[in-house]
Amino acid sequence: VRLLGKGELKAQLHLEVAYATESAKAAVEKAGGSVKVTGVKVKRRMHKSGEPGKRGQRRVKAIEGRAARDKDKAERLAAKGITG
């Protein structure tokens, strides 16, 4: 589930989502709620044998690569004292 920020929120919500924009997080927190981002959920394409196909393997590899780059970037920024 992706949480996108548009409109106005009046109820206090506690959400656990795969993705949330900064404006959506701000809106939920402003209303007294909380947002926990769990990360990207990978949809795997499988053969009948249960093994991922070539397309699924490429997709998983790309998503894992992006996640690793994002983690490295966050660590570098934290080392410099910059927080998001």
**4 touches 15 (CB < 8 A):** no
The answer on 36 and 62 residing in a single domain is: no
- Domain total of the chain: 2
Q: Are residues 51 and 76 in the same domain?
A: yes
Q: Cα-atom radius of gyration of the chain, to the nearest Å?
A: 17
pLDDT of residue 33: 92
- The pLDDT of residue 34 is 92
Domain shared by 33 and 47, yes or no: no
- How far out from the chain centre does Cα 60 lie? 15
**16 and 50 housed in the same domain:** no
What mean pLDDT value characterizes the chain? 81
79 and 52 share a domain? Answer: yes
State the average pLDDT over residues 12-40: 87
The CA–CA distances, whole Å, from 7 to 16, 31, 40 equal 19, 12, 24
5 lies in the same domain as 28: yes
Q: Could you tell me the residue range of the domain that residue 10 belongs to?
A: 1-41
Which residues, 6 or more positions from 20, have their beta carbon under 8 angstroms from its beta carbon?
2, 3, 4, 28, 35, 37
Task: List, for residues 39-71, the tens digit of each pLDDT value.
Answer: 766 566 666 677 767 777 788 888 888 888 988
